[in-house]
Amino acid sequence: MSLVGQKQSMGFSGNHAGASSVLIDSDMPTAVMLALEGQAKTTGSVGTAMTLNEIIDRLRTAHLMVRDANEWDGLAAALVDAYHSNDEDRVEQLQPPFLQSWRTVTHYVLRDTFDAAGISVAEPSLPWAIATLTANGVSREPVLCHVDPAAPQEPPGAAIEGPRLFTFAEAMTYYAECLAPLLERANGRQEQYTT
């Protein structure tokens, strides 16, 4: 079954019954649709249920406390410009703080949120990844750029043409898509223990 077919069979075709009316589009990422429907929940170590939507809200808020979306996009654009102009000094100046900013928010600012959701945070293995997120044996690495799985992964700065970095909105969407399977797996395990 195609992803669109899976989404439609999961009932993602109507309006959200929350405070505001949100049209669920079959082209939306599954994680976003789950969040809008409030269907992805997990119980953290303190026993409180957290929905994917709540985690995404906290994720977005934490990043926006550090910089607004335009600043995140400006940093990415400046780094891409440095790559495109072959300015290695500028790349070396911009890249480490760009990566570290994203990683610091995840590792430190969101620590309690991820702990409560039962998600562990570790150092990433991919050069442009923010972190390795793990829950119930499932791991995901949200990245900051488009990754071609067929291309060999090189460390940041290895290829001067540089990566195609995500905008802030794209990074948040991809991050949510990485979180969804972690919470879905947690839901399955919770149901096993409660039935």
The whole-angstrom separation of Cα 136 and Cα 22 is 31
DSSP state of 12: T
Position 26 pLDDT exceeds 70:
no
Domain ranges of the chain: 1-39, 52-194
Q: Is the pLDDT of residue 37 over 80?
A: no
Helix, strand, or coil (residue 99): helix
pLDDT tens for residues 63-119?
A: 999 999 999 999 999 999 999 999 999 999 999 999 999 999 999 999 999 998 899
> What average pLDDT score do residues 48-67 get?
87
* Long-range residue pairs from 95-103, CB within 8 A, at least 24 positions apart, any chain: 95/156, 95/157, 98/144, 99/128, 99/144, 99/156, 101/66, 101/67, 101/75, 102/63, 102/130, 102/144, 102/171, 103/130, 103/131
Q: How far lies 74's CA from each of 60, 185, 193, in Å?
A: 17, 36, 47
Higher confidence at residue 86 or residue 148?
Answer: 86
- Give the model confidence (pLDDT) of 5-15 as tens digits: 333 333 333 33
Identify the residue whose tokens are 């119930």: 136
What predicted TM-score, i.e. pTM, was given to this entire model? Answer: 0.67
